[in-house]
Amino acid sequence: MTKYGFITIGSATLLVAACSSPSDDIHGEENAAEVSGEISVASAQQEAALGNPLVARHQVPQDYDGDGKTDPTVFRPSEGNWYSRLSVFGDTVTPFGVNSDRLVPGDYDNDKKTDVAVFRPSEGNWYVHLSTGAPDMVVNFGVSSDRLVPGDYDNDGKTDPAVFRPSEGNWYVHLSTGAPDMVVNFGVSSDRLVPGDYDNDGKTDPAVFRPSEGNWYAHLSTGAPDMVINFGVSSDRLVPGDYDGDGKTDPAVFRPSEGKWYAHLSKGGPDLVVEWGTSTDRLVPGDYDKDGKTDPAVFRPSEGRWYILASGGGQIVTTFGVATDRIPYSQ
Ligand SMILES: [Ca+2]
Ligand SMILES: [Ca+2]
Ligand SMILES: [Ca+2]
Ligand SMILES: [Ca+2]
C-alpha cells in the first residue's frame, strides 16, 4: 500500500508517496516524489529540504544555465566557438577549444550548470571551462584512441573524466572525489557505448550495446547482477535516456528506415514508440521542457532547425546552428 501527501516548498508542490509495506518498491527515491504543476525537477534547496537528491540523480544533459531545461548547443569548428540558446538568458557564445578537439561538456563543478569542455587527443588532456568562473580545469587522462564516456560515476554531482579503451575492454574513470581511478572491464571493442544510470542510484553505470546480438548490457553500480535487455538491431541509432521519468536510463533506439523512436521503459508497460525525424537528421534527445522525461528531438542540418517533441506536450521548433556545426553527444 502506498500513502500520498503533499509538500509545498516555495512555488513547487510535490506529491509524495510513502511506502508502507515491504512489498512496495524499496528504492523510495525512484517513486517517492511526483510533481504537480509546472515544476518537475526539485531545486537544490528543495532537494536539501527533502533529503531526496532528485537533481543529482537527474542530471539534465546540456543545461548550460541550470534551469533544468536542455539548451540547444553547437560547436562551430571553424571558429572554436560554442553557441548555446539558453532557456533563461538567450543566446550566448563561448570561445573554447579547437577543431580537432572532441566535445565532452558536463557538470564538472556540481553547480547544476553544464560546463563547456573538450578532450584534446594529441595531449590526452581534458579542458573544462567551469561555469562557476573558477580557472579552467585541466586533467590529463586517456589517450587519443580511447573513446570518451564522461559521467558521474561516484554520485558527487560532478562529471568525472572517463574513457573506454577498446583494445582492453576497460573503462577508466578519474573520480572527482579524489578516490583512486575506477577500472572496470566491461564490453569489447565492437560494442557501442551507452553509459547511463540504469539503476537510479545516482552513479553512471558502464553499459554497452552489442550490435551482433541486439543486447544492452549494463554493469550496475549498485552491485546487482548485470542488466541484459534485448532491444534494437544493429542498424538502429542509440538514444538512451529517461523517457518515463523514473530516474532510470531506458534503452532506446531510433530506426532510420522508419523515422521512429523506440524506448524500453524501465517502469514497465508497453514500449514507447513515436515517429519523429528522418534518417538524415541528427538525434539530440534531452529534457527541453523540464518534466523529468527525455524528449525525442532532432537537428535537421539542411534547415539548421531543431525539432523537439516535448514529453509534457507540444512541439518546440527553433532555428539554431548550421549543417557544419558539431553537436555534443548527438547521434
Ligand atoms: Ca558546472
Ligand atoms: Ca547507477
Ligand atoms: Ca526510465
Ligand atoms: Ca521532457
Q: What is the pLDDT of residues 190-211, one digit of tens each?
A: 999 999 999 999 999 999 999 9
CA distance 222 to 123: 34
Is 326 in a helix, a strand, or coil?
Answer: strand
Residues 76/101, Cβ–Cβ less than 8 Å: no
Lowest-pLDDT range of 3-12, 231-240, 244-253: 3-12
Q: Which three cell numbers stand for residue 156?
A: 558527487
Identify which ligand lies nearest to the alpha carbon of 265: 3
Query: What does residue 319 show for φ and ψ, rounded to 5 degrees?
Result: -90, 120
Quote the ligand 1 centre to 292 CA distance (angstroms).
Answer: 19
- Alpha carbon of 96 to ligand 3 centroid (Å): 33
Whether the CB-CB separation of 277 and 307 falls below 8 Å is answered with yes
Residue-wise pLDDT for 56-75, tens only, equals 344 678 999 999 999 999 99
Q: What is the mean pLDDT of residues 109-136?
A: 96
The C-alpha cell at 45 is 534547496
pLDDT for residue 308 is more than 50: yes
Q: Which whole number is the average pLDDT over 6-29?
A: 33
Place of cell 534551469: 67
Instruction: Please tell me the predicted confidence (pLDDT) of residue 55.
Output: 34
Cα–ligand 3 centroid distance for 285 (angstroms): 14
Looking at residue 248, what is its pLDDT? Answer: 97
210 CA distance to ligand 1 middle (Å):
32
Compute the average pLDDT of residues 300-319. Answer: 97
Phi and psi (nearest 5°) for 45?
-65, -45
The confidence score (pLDDT) of residue 88 equals: 87
CA dist., res. 165 & res. 146, Å (int): 5
pLDDT at 147: 97
Q: What share of the chain is helix, strand, coil (3-state, %, to 5)?
A: 5, 35, 60
Task: Give the number of whichever ligand sits closest to the CA of residue 115.
Answer: 1
d(CA 212, CA 48): 45
CA atoms within 13 A on the CB side of 87: 17
Comparing 45-49, 210-214, 276-280, which segment has the lowest mean pLDDT? 45-49
23 pLDDT more than 60: no
Residue with cell 557538470: 107
Residue 10 has pLDDT above 50, yes or no: no
CA 293 / ligand 3 centre spacing (Å):
8
pLDDT in tens, 239-274: 999 999 999 999 999 999 999 999 999 999 999 999
Arithmetic mean of pLDDT, 163-170: 98
126 CA to middle of ligand 1, Å?
Answer: 15
Which ligand is located closest to the Cα atom of residue 250?
3
Report the candidate in 129, 82, 126 with the shortest Cα–Cα distance to residue 109. Answer: 129
Out of 14-28, 99-113, 114-128, 289-303, least confident range: 14-28
Q: How many CB atoms lie within 10 A of CB 155?
A: 16
For residue 252, give the ligand nearest its CA.
3
| Whole-number pLDDT of residue 60 | 77
Q: Judge whether residue 176 has pLDDT over 60.
A: yes
Contacts for 152 with CB less than 8 Å, ≥ 6 apart: 56, 59, 107, 158, 159, 160, 202, 203, 204
Using the mean position of ligand 2's atoms as its centre, give its distance from the Cα of residue 203 in Å: 4
Q: What's the CA-to-centroid distance between 11 and ligand 2, angstroms?
A: 30
Q: Say how many Å lie between the CA of residue 35 and the centre of ligand 1.
A: 25
Rounded to the nearest whole angstrom, what is the distance from the C-alpha of residue 106 to the centroid of ligand 3? Answer: 20
Q: Nine-digit cell at 32?
A: 517517492
With cut-offs at 50, 70 and 90, classify the pLDDT of residue 87. confident
Residue 47 in this model has a pLDDT that exceeds 80:
no
Q: Answer with the residue of higher pLDDT: 266 or 1.
A: 266
- Which pTM value belongs to this model? 0.82
How far apart, in whole angstroms, are the C-alpha atoms of residue 31 and residue 163? Answer: 32
Proportion of the chain above pLDDT 90, given as a percent: 80
Mean pLDDT of the chain: 85
- Closest to 216 (Cα-Cα) out of 252, 169, 171: 252
**In the prediction, which pLDDT does 59 show?**
62
Ligand nearest to C-alpha 132: 1
Report the largest interatomic distance among the alpha carbons of the chain, rounded to a whole angstrom.
59
> Which of the ligands is closest to the CA of residue 285?
4
310's grid cell? 516535448
- Mean pLDDT to the nearest integer, 38-64: 45
Identity (one letter) of the amino acid at 94?
T
More confident residue, 60 or 284: 284
Instruction: Please give the angle made by the CA atoms of 324, 240 and 282, to the nearest 5 degrees.
Output: 20
